[in-house]
Structure formats: C-alpha cells, structure tokens
Amino acid sequence: MGPEAKIEAEITVRRALELPALRRGLPEVLAGADRLDRAVRWVHAGEVPHIASLLKGGELLLTTGLGLGARPSEQRAFIRKLADREIAALVVELGSRFESLPSALIDSARECGLPLIQLHREVPYVTVTEEIHTEIVNSHYALLRRADEVLRRCTDVLLRGGGAPEVLRLLAAFTGNPLCLEAPDGSPLYAAGPEGADGEGGPADADPLLAWEGLRDTGVRIDVPGGGHGPDAVRARLVLLPVNSPLAPVHRIAAERAAGLLAVVMLQSRQEEVLAARGRGDFLADLAEGRIAAAEAPGQARLLGFRPGGDPVLPVVMRLPSGLPYPGSWALLAQALREELAAPGVPVLLGVRPVEGRVPMLVALRAGQDRHALADRIAEALRAGVVRAGLDRPAAYRPVVVVGTAGDWAAAGPGLRHAAEAAAAAQGLPEQPWYDARRLDIELLLWRMREHGELGVLADFVDRAIGPLLAHDRGARQPLLPTLEAYLASAGRKAETARDLNVNRQTLYDRLARIAQLLGTDLDDPQTVLGLRLALRARRHTDRP
C-alpha cells in the first residue's frame, strides 16, 4: 500500500498467545509488550542463522534458539535482521539451547521494538502452527462473510433505484469513516460520511470533503476499474479515510468488492459528471439547511472548484419534476448545464438534487455587475441546458428558475433555502424567464401553509372569497373568473382590462357587475381587492378547480 494507512488485522500476537497451544508453553513477554497488537500474517518455524532472508514480514517465528549464535554480537545481528523484515514476533522455546535468554538478545529486541517471548515449557510446533493458521483462516472467512453482506446491501440499494452516492454512503456507514470517490486526475467526485446512513458506523466528527483534503495522501485507495487499458484502466479511485477509527481488513475487502459495482454503475453515460454534480448538490443542501458553518463553507466550495474571491454570492435554484422522462436524464442535464454555464464567464457552483427535482447553485456577483442582468444570463443558460438535454418537452417539464438575494457566505445558506422553497411555491405561476425570490413571499406563505397541513384553512378561505364565482363558471358558457383575474392584474384599470380581454367597455362593466353580484361585494373596495387577490393565489395551492 506504499504510504497509505496500514489496515489493522484481527489476528494479533496477543491473540496468538491466548490460544491453548502457546498458552500451554507458559509464555513470558521479555520485550515489545507494547507491540503485541501487531498483525500475524503467518507462522514459521526454523533454526538456521540466515532465517530472516526466508521471511516476508508479519510472521510469528518459532525457534529453540539453535540459529541465534553463541556470541552477543551474533545475537544482536540476528534480532536486527528480523526487525528489518518486520516480523510480528520472535518466540523462543527454552531448554534445547538456552535455560534463559541472554541479555544481548533481550536488550537488542527492546531497542528494535521487536516482541520477544520465551516459552518455559516445550510445545509441539505443529500444534501451534495448525491452531494459529486455523484461527487466521477462520478470521478471513468471517471477514469475507461480512464483506459479502455489505456487497449484498449495496446491490439491494442499486436494485431499488439507488446509484453511486447511495453505495458510497452505505460504505461510509459500514467503515464508520468518511470516504471520497476521486476522478483519475485526483479531483473529488463525491464525498460521503457515515452519519445518517443505515450501517455500522458511528457519527462522523469531520466533514468528508475536508477530511479528504487533509488525509487523501494517507488514505487507503481502491481502484474502480474502467475496463480499458492505459489511461482508461482506472475510471475512479475510492479513498477510505481513517478519521474516526482505524480501518480494518474487512473495510478494504468490502470496498474492493463495492468498487466492482461502482464500475458497472459508472459505465453508464456521463456518470462521473452527475456524480460530481450530486456531490456539489449535497454541499449546497447542507449549506442551505445549516449543517455547514459559514466559516467552513468557502474552504469546501474551493475544493469543489468554486472561488468567488471576495465577491458576493447569488443563490439560484431551478426546479424540475423529480421523475424525469428517462434513465440518465439527470446525467445529461448536469453535463449540458455545466457547458452552458461556462458561457456567462462568472464562477458558478452548480449541483443537482434529483430526489427533490432541484438544481441549486451559487453564482459570483462581480463588483459593479447588475444583478438583474446576471440573472437574465444565468436563466438563459439554464433553459438552454434543459433544451440541450432534451427535457423541454412536454410542457410539464418547464423549469422554474428563482433568483435570491446576493450576500456573503453567512447569507448564502438561508438564501438557497428561501430560493428553493420559493421555486416550489412558484409552480403554476404564469411563465417568465426567472422569478425574484423577494417578490414571491405571498406565494411562499400560502405554500408553507399547505405544506404544514393548513390545506383545509386555505380551501375554506378560497370558498368564502370566490366560491360562488367558481360554482358559476363550472356550467357557464362565458366564465367570469378570467375577467376578475385580468381586472386585478391591471390594478382595477378598466380601460386596460378591456384591451387585455379584447372586449368593449360596456361588456366589461356588465361582467364586473355580475361578479360583484355573485360575490356580494364591492370590487372598488381596497380590502376586498386584497382578499380576492389572495384567494386567487391560494386557489393554486388547493384542490379547488
């Protein structure tokens, strides 16, 4: 693994000494008592002076001491060579060669940090070897079973319609640590933490993206195969980060097996793009919900490629239906939007949130730049991206773009949350290139009432205000509701209303008189007009026809 973090094994020197075969030898630890948690990869028995050259590292070496040498210098050299090979421990059986181990041997083992154990009673080496090897094999089998269980859960997630982010979050929960999926060039595609997933991990104490930035050089890397050769042999790299706890062998085994699933998922067109866009979307959602502090946000945004400098950031949200027409729609959309948003020439951090059907983003507002003009350019690019991705038909897929208020990073989160809610409230409004979040407060108030279970209150208000008019229009050849809507939209200017409806003034006067009669109210009264305007808006948030 080179410089990567070492993965702890489950069979250690301490565990080997607890097994009956070695315990019957009455083991006594003379050196390296603080290193008994070293991994035991295998057991080897030998008596030759050059035995170190036959070892690969991680072995528990059993000997009677015949090859240790007679002189202190030979004994010290023997220990140094074993330490250089990084064996797990040296176990010497007393009796055949030594009544007690010489001080040169013990002192050298302490200096090298090599666990040195002497056995006071003779034990059959074959029994020791069989017992430890059986323990190692059983441990490996248990690891494989746990890894298979994680693989099964990852497969279930994919079969239920999940994707790479869900697999990564499940792996993060299983390891109890954050992890990151990197592109071949080392840039982050998606970072996941163990919190909030169904698994064995505990709560994370570090943001996964920041953990990746600080520990990526020491994390354990797993290649996600690309199916090609040369530069195409690796499609991505999964980086396990030992933040909350050490990584166990089962974590690497599970990650290696999940890498095969990720490779299949990512073979679909443009999966890297949508994965990165979902990672940015998660960051923006966490920022909007207050899960990321304003002080940490610029650093995380920088890792995602967004560097607005000292300029204010403008929150923008585009809303689309969550059930897009065909598989891969979000991948196509993410790619098209990224390419279209390169045209305005300003820093943009764009993410996707398929479950909510949202495309949140932050845009840098340069000094002296007009907010309205920038919003026009961004909205035009977003709509061009929707068309380019083939999502502009049918009309039900018409995007709604809401632009918030520019501010610093402390205002960015609340601004994104406000824009997202306003985009939901704006569904069904007359179409326009983009909506100003500041002018949707009434729509947002009505939408929040519906979302918080106040639908009955809204429906009763609509029935009281315009119920008789709605009842009239259900069976009428000439409905009157469009006349009322046009009259209120023109702020009561009758000449303008007549022109908009393409009728003469007398016809308009007759219709307005009929409306006033049906509703039993005065259309010139300001309070009445305000109530009617609210009722017409509230009607969109109820089931009233």
How far apart, in whole angstroms, are the C-alpha atoms of residue 349 and residue 378?
12
Pairing of strands 116-119, 89-93: parallel
Q: Which of 74, 72, 93, 71 is nearest to 82 (CA)?
A: 74
How far apart, in whole angstroms, are the C-alpha atoms of residue 440 and residue 425?
8
Largest Cα–Cα distance of the chain, in whole Å? 124
How far apart, in whole angstroms, are the C-alpha atoms of residue 340 and residue 359?
14
Say what the pLDDT of residue 438 is: 86
Q: For every residue of 110-176, which 3-state class applies, written as one string?
A: HHHCCCEEEECCCCCHHHHHHHHHHHHHHHHHHHHHHHHHHHHHHHHHHHCCCCHHHHHHHHHHHHC
Structure tokens at 93: 């059986």
Say what the pLDDT of residue 196 is: 46
10 Å Cβ neighbour count for 523?
16
- DSSP labels, 410-446: HHHHHHHHHHHHHHHHTTTSPP-S-EEGGG-HHHHHH
Say what the pLDDT of residue 3 is: 31
10 Å Cβ neighbour count for 466?
25
39, 146, 516 from 9: Cα distances, Å: 5, 14, 83
Say what the pLDDT of residue 361 is: 95
Residue pointed to by tokens 């994104």: 416
Reported as a single tens digit per residue, the pLDDT across 491-533 is 888 888 888 889 898 988 888 888 888 888 888 888 888 778 8
Those residues whose C-beta lies under 8 Å from the C-beta of residue 236, and which sit 6 or more positions away, are 181, 182, 183, 184, 189, 224, 262, 266, 272
Pairing of strands 234-240, 313-319: unpaired
Q: Which of 456, 448, 466 is nearest to 531 (CA)?
A: 466
10 Å Cβ neighbour count for 25?
21
How far apart, in whole angstroms, are the C-alpha atoms of residue 58 and residue 202?
30
Domains in the chain, CATH or no CATH each: 25-122 (3.40.1390.20), 158-267 (no CATH), 298-447 (3.30.70.1430), 453-539 (1.10.10.2840)
Say what the pLDDT of residue 264 is: 83
10 Å Cβ neighbour count for 302?
13
By CB neighbour count within 10 A (0-12 exposed, 13-18 middle, 19+ buried), where does 281 fall? buried
How far apart, in whole angstroms, are the C-alpha atoms of residue 157 and residue 79?
52
| Dihedral angle computed from the Cα positions of residues 360, 303, 333 and 262, in that order, rounded to the nearest 10 degrees | -120
10 Å Cβ neighbour count for 454?
15
**pTM (2 decimals)?**
0.62
Residue pointed to by tokens 């409004």: 429
- DSSP labels, 174-233: HHTS-EEEEPTTS-EEEEE-STTSSSS----SS-HHHHHHHHTTTSEEEEEE-SSSGGGS
SS3 (DSSP) at 534: helix
Kind and range of the H or E run holding 325? none
Say what the pLDDT of residue 444 is: 77
Pairing of strands 400-403, 313-319: antiparallel
What 67-72 contacts at long range (C-beta under 8 Å, 24+ apart), as own/partner pairs, is 68/92, 68/97, 68/105, 72/102, 72/104
SS3 (DSSP) at 74: helix
SS3 (DSSP) at 64: coil
How far apart, in whole angstroms, are the C-alpha atoms of residue 100 and residue 118?
8
Say what the pLDDT of residue 231 is: 64
Residue 65 phi/psi, 5° resolution? 95, 10
Q: Which residues of the chain are modeled with pLDDT < 50?
A: 1-9, 196-204, 269
